[in-house]
Amino acid sequence: MFRQGRATCYVLIYIELTLITKPIRKWFSAVIIPTIPFSNLRVQCYRWCGYKIGRHTFIGMRCYLDDMCYDLIEIEDHVTISYGVFFACHGRKQGHNKLVIKKGAYIGMNSSIVARNAEGLIIGENAVVGACSLVNKSVDAEDVVVGIPAKSIRKKS
């Protein structure tokens, strides 16, 4: 009986900590981190919040990573994300989907990346997303996409 009571106590402590830490993490991720003026510190803070971000990655100011799905966003090494990019892994009447940005990708400023399908969204290795684009489908490696919705204009050479 004592063991069962202790387990229940641990569960209650876990629930209480989650109720306290989740809103704080979400607020920190959505309000504080995007305004940090130093890229290395900004990236490190995103990592502290649970995002998977590779080495030598630049994330510009005013970028918003989906704070509900921090465990579904994966950004690999040598990725450049310009100013004001929005990432969404979920939306109205859709599940939470994985979003992967492969090595060497570049995402132009004010773009929106939306993983709307159950299979998720992948931006391929060394792909380029033009400024102000809406990416709602996967982008092949070495591809250059622009527009709303983003369409391929050429393979990068």
Q: Is the pLDDT of residue 19 over 90?
A: no
Predicted TM-score (pTM) of this structure: 0.85
**How far is Cα 58 from Cα 36, in angstroms, rounded to an integer?**
13
Return the closest-CA partner of residue 93 out of 73, 112, 116, 70: 116
**Which domains are present in the chain?**
2-155 (2.160.10.10)
User: What band does 2 get if pLDDT is binned at 50, 70 and 90?
Assistant: very low
35 closest CA partner among 23, 46, 22: 46
Instruction: Say whether 32 sits in a helix, a strand or coil.
Output: helix
Q: How many CB atoms lie within 10 A of CB 16?
A: 10
pLDDT at 94: 77
**What does pLDDT average to over the chain?**
90
Is there a contact between 123 and 129 (Cβ–Cβ < 8 Å)? yes
pLDDT at res. 1: 44
pLDDT band of 156, cuts 50, 70, 90: low
pLDDT in tens, 58-110: 999 999 999 888 899 999 999 999 999 999 998 777 788 999 999 999 999 99
Residue 81 pairs in a beta bridge with: 59, 107
* pLDDT digits 0-9 by tens, 48-65: 999 999 999 999 999 999
Q: Which of 104, 98, 89 is nearest to 55 (CA)?
A: 104
- Rounded CA-CA distance 66/73 in Å is 8
For the segment 111-135, the average pLDDT, to the nearest whole number, is 93
d(CA 130, CA 113): 12
What's the confidence (pLDDT) of residue 123? 97
Q: Number of H helices and number of E strands within the chain?
A: 2, 13
Tokens representing 56 are: 């030598």
